[in-house]
Amino acid sequence: MTLAPALCGQAPGEGVRWSVAEELRIGAVDGAGYDLSNPIQRVLPRDDGLLVISQHNPPELRLFTAEGRYVRTIGRAGEGPGDYRSINRVAWRADTLVVTDGALNRVTWLGSDGRVVRTARISDREAPDPDIGILLPEMLLHDGSVLAQAIPADGAAVGAGQEAPLLRVSPSGGVLDTIGYVPSSRGPAQLRLVSRGAVHMVPGLPSRRAGWTQRWTVADSGDLVVMVGGVGEQGPDSYSVRAIDPISGDLRFERTFRHEVSPGAVAAAAQAFEGWASRTVEMLVRSGVNRSEASRLVREALESPDLPEPARPLPVEGVRIGTDGRIWLRLHHEGGGQVWKVLDGRSGDPLGYLSLDRAYRFGAATEDRVWFVDAGSPVDPPQVIQYRLVPG
């Protein structure tokens, strides 16, 4: 695969400029075991090269050798041992796969041969609040406890401006402590971590003027949470990266960077926002509101500090963590392709960047390899592509 040198107007930071060499493509071969037509969720390489591809609709785990040869499918849709109704997260723990199933409130430990090693149902009996009756397991943390999200007992969505607790629970379902809060999808996307009394936040999106929506993720190893948010006082294109141990609450590092969003993208976002305002005025007029009154109402809304709509694109559009602990940031890029910036997961130092001439979904990464998912098309099945990172 040939890569454009740097597709954005500026280099995204210090470090090595990587290119990639394709080594493997899974999903391009017809026949038993290679049907990847259902959506791909995650890609998980093991240290010895064994590769797991997690899929849904139906939920399945497919194993491949380091050479891309199909080995077996683990699990199926169902509720029996080793079955799933939904796969929230999959991670390797040594030679064992740990699968969290939010629909069944269950965590399953599986051998690479498909044998069920252990199953634990996350009980709701010890939820910390009578209004919170369901604990949804998200993933296994590095101390063996389970990260779970608490939701209302009636299954109702968390309302705008409200937060759902992130809990650390034992495999038997007993609540150990609250480590953070996840906001409503309709409110500012701002994770708050409160482990061991330490409070960690990075700026989210409290208003249209104040910044932009926060990004955050948890490493498959369960030992690192990365939060990325805007830093308004250093300019609209600056962003902060904070890495925290989710159990101890210890701050590993906090770094601030800048990535310039292109003027064309800013102008397009502003134009789209003004288009929204015009359509809102017309909608009010059609509902019987006088046009001058409708214009006044929309103008006041635009001037409100509580309007939850960013006026410009985000400098960081995604964040993922590789199996080696390095942090991959997908930077804003105008046009086709993608630009990824890679940080050291211990210090936050920039290690390098990668510019792709196509837009892919991140699958996984190790020190010298990266996997991307090509979602395919109505006539082409999805594929997992393994690349070797080439410095310089």
The larger pLDDT score, comparing residue 187 to residue 336, is at: 336
Average pLDDT over residues 346-359: 91
What is the residue extent of each domain of the chain? 1-39+210-260+313-392, 262-308
Count Cβ atoms below 10 Å from residue 256 Cβ, excluding itself: 12
Q: Indicate whether 10 pLDDT > 50.
A: no
Average pLDDT over the chain reads 77
What pLDDT digit, counting tens, does each position of 271-328 carry? Answer: 766 777 888 888 888 888 899 998 888 878 766 655 544 556 678 888 999 999 999 9
CA distance 203 to 187: 13
Closest alpha carbon to 36 in 358, 386, 374, 388: 374
Closest alpha carbon to 152 in 170, 139, 165: 165
* Whole-prediction pTM: 0.80
Q: List 217's β-bridge partners, or say none.
A: 226
